[in-house]
Structure 1
Amino acid sequence: MRAQTHRITANGLSHFVRDSGEESAPAAILMHGFPDSSAVWDKVTPLLVQAGFRVIAPDMRGFGETDMAASVADYEIQTGAVKDVLGVMEALKIKIAHVVGHDFGAPIAWALAAQHPERFKTLTAISVGHTRAYLKAGWEQKRRGAYILFHQLRGICEAAYKANDWALLRKHWSAHGDIEETIRLLSRPGRLAAGLNWYRANISLARMMKPPPAGSLGEEIVRIPTLGIWSDGEAYLTEAQMTGSADYMDAPWTYERIEGASHWIPYDAPEILAQAMLSHWRKYG
């Protein structure tokens, strides 16, 4: 399997990007969330490459080996991550691709699909549904997402997560597939705060309690074929916030529920995940 890494300057930062598969193969952009890096895709990537696809997996801004941004506001999805991904695609001369996101990578993927449908063949959203569906998912989702409010406490949250050899982080993200490597990466100066800034820039108590007006988040309707994937061992997200995403589609919508996997589907069920993605790509690609 051809595999290489790149350092790509885009949107004012230097990005670390994993690039696997033949350059001429159909491309897929895979985006991770918190507290991960592009390594979350390590079990899935070979399966996709073997099936004839090129996999581009960047470390998102502030994570892994990609630069940290200067301020909290720089982690806002529209001005930060969306432009990052488009810049990486331009640098690699990728005109069109499949787009995939897990955890915080999913809202980025939803935004890219809605606002730049000419650049993407399909969307696959893993664990996290459409942003509007998430905000409207009800009190059970608010209960499951209450930890996000803790993430707003600058300095306090960082200190609590790091205390006693990262005991709280280990407990809260106990199902993570490689927690030791994740802690190693987050232990570097500024990196935990950078990861938490994704929450601080994009989610607030006011937004969780009262969703912003329609259209204020940019174009929201998705007009490319979309696959939503959710797992029954999911601790942080309800099924309703994924299935409710169908209300924001003007294209084919497919939903798949994976049994026996935690929030970290790429670690827990890579074969099932890869097969679902490949079926989706082949059907609509």
Structure 2
Amino acid sequence: MATGMAGIAGMEEARFSVAHLDRITLHYAEMGPEDGPLIILLHGFPDSCLGWRYQMSALAKAGFRVVAPDQRGYGLSGKPRGVASYDLDELADDVIALGAHLGETQLRVIGHDWGASVAWWLCSARADHMDKAVMINAPHPAIWKKAMQSDRAQRKRSRYVRRLKLRILPEMAIRRRNYQALVDVLRMSSREGVFDEAEFDAYRRNWDQPKALTSMIHWYRALLKKKLPDTPSPIRVPVLLIWGEKDDFAETSLAKESIALCERGGSLFFKEGTHWVHREEPDHINDMLMLFFHSDQE
């Protein structure tokens, strides 16, 4: 079983397994019928498959086969060395390989935070593998990176990214007091009560896996090194963007700029939602997810 998942509400029915892919080993949680339409759920920083506990059971009950991996560098999944191993192309190809392992070449993907960045990149750079995608509180990575440099408000929100660019010091600071800095960030960036102590204990065990913390931070370091287009190409994959407008980490204007790239895009904004809106408004969001993916079953 995944580290620390036992007894956490919403994960009781999850089946845990490991996909030994040619490129990486990915640990994942799964719910729903094995012959159901596949949906892959991609978490962000500093999350894990646990972050989808409010979506997995609802989608599974609707007949979908729901698979939520710990992405590379996280939890019990593989942690290759070096910043280059966490390039967006590597992360996107992991998802394609996992889908093929599960018998699907046309992917339905839901991503949050960094997982949504991977979903955006799949739609931009690997569109031939994509059927539909949902992005939650993350702009297209090219728009995000550009805004970190040129948009004053976003520069302020992204100061932590520049700090993570440093070597060794971020890891030392984050590990202090049993990862209290990460726990504080999760608490302060969400509505009260969204996270509980059982979850924090599970997260601490994941963060404490060998090489995990450095691998997680390498996602940021790799983005800062990557050359991305100033003007991303139009996206033809059907996209649903979900956004909590009280996000501490990204300006809502970046969400609107991102969905404008999509030729077949829809959006759902929550004025009182935070970066963790999928945890705060699960019923409404789950209904929209099922509506968005429903046509795949017809």
TM-score between both structures, scaled by the size of structure 2: 0.84
2:30 aligned with 1:19: yes
Query: What residue is the counterpart of 1:227 in the other structure?
Result: 240
The alpha carbon displacement at 1:8 in A equals 1.1
5 Å matches for 1:244-283?
244-249=257-262, 251-283=263-295
Distance (Å, rounded) in 2 between the aligned partners of 1:260 and 1:11 = 43
* Runs of 5+ unmatched residues, structure 2: 1-11
Q: Structure 1 residue aligned with 2:49, among 7, 23, 38? A: 38
Query: What residue is the counterpart of 2:3 in the other structure?
Result: none
Query: What residue is the counterpart of 1:88 in the other structure?
Result: 98
Query: What residue is the counterpart of 2:76 in the other structure?
Result: 65
Identity over aligned residues, as a percent? 25
Which contiguous aligned blocks of 4+ residues in structure 1 show a shift greater than 6 angstroms?
Answer: none
Deviation readout 1:196-230 (Å, 9 max, x if unpaired): 111111125xx7xxx84458xxx743211111111
2:214 aligned with 1:201: no
Query: What residue is the counterpart of 1:102 in the other structure?
Result: 112
Out of 139-148 and 168-177, give the one that drifted further: 168-177
RMSD: 2.2
The alpha carbon displacement at 1:52 in A equals 1.8
Query: What residue is the counterpart of 1:135 in the other structure?
Result: 145
* Runs of 5+ unmatched residues, structure 1: none
* Paired AA for residue 203 in structure 1: L
Helix, strand or coil for the counterpart of 1:233? coil
Pair 1:75–1:105, CA change in 2 (3 A): same
Distance (Å, rounded) in 2 between the aligned partners of 1:92 and 1:188 = 26
The alpha carbon displacement at 1:76 in A equals 0.7
Aligned partners of 1:2 and 1:20 also within 8 Å: yes
Query: What residue is the counterpart of 1:183 in the other structure?
Result: 204
Distance (Å, rounded) in 2 between the aligned partners of 1:29 and 1:154 = 32
Out of 113-122 and 100-109, give the one that drifted further: 113-122
Aligned partners of 1:32 and 1:102 also within 8 Å: yes
Pair 1:168–1:17, CA change in 2 (3 A): closer
* Paired AA for residue 143 in structure 1: K
Pair 1:160–1:281, CA change in 2 (3 A): same
Aligned partners of 1:144 and 1:237 also within 8 Å: yes
Pair 1:43–1:201, CA change in 2 (3 A): same
Distance (Å, rounded) in 1 between the aligned partners of 2:23 and 2:264 = 35
Distance (Å, rounded) in 2 between the aligned partners of 1:125 and 1:94 = 20
Helix, strand or coil for the counterpart of 1:42? helix
Helix, strand or coil for the counterpart of 1:30? strand
Deviation readout 1:91-118 (Å, 9 max, x if unpaired): 1111323111101001110111223333
Aligned partners of 1:36 and 1:64 also within 8 Å: no
* Paired AA for residue 49 in structure 2: S
Distance (Å, rounded) in 1 between the aligned partners of 2:200 and 2:13 = 27
Distance (Å, rounded) in 2 between the aligned partners of 1:58 and 1:83 = 14
Out of 168-177 and 191-200, give the one that drifted further: 168-177
Distance (Å, rounded) in 1 between the aligned partners of 2:62 and 2:265 = 23
Query: What residue is the counterpart of 2:85 in the other structure?
Result: 74
2:183 aligned with 1:170: yes
Distance (Å, rounded) in 2 between the aligned partners of 1:154 and 1:11 = 29
Helix, strand or coil for the counterpart of 1:260? coil
Distance (Å, rounded) in 2 between the aligned partners of 1:193 and 1:282 = 39
Distance (Å, rounded) in 2 between the aligned partners of 1:246 and 1:259 = 17
Aligned partners of 1:40 and 1:266 also within 8 Å: no
TM-score between both structures, scaled by the size of structure 1: 0.88
The alpha carbon displacement at 1:45 in A equals 0.5
Helix, strand or coil for the counterpart of 1:199? helix
Pair 1:17–1:124, CA change in 2 (3 A): same
* Paired AA for residue 101 in structure 1: G
Pair 1:18–1:125, CA change in 2 (3 A): same
Pair 1:155–1:186, CA change in 2 (3 A): same
Deviation readout 1:123-156 (Å, 9 max, x if unpaired): 1010002123323442211211110011111210
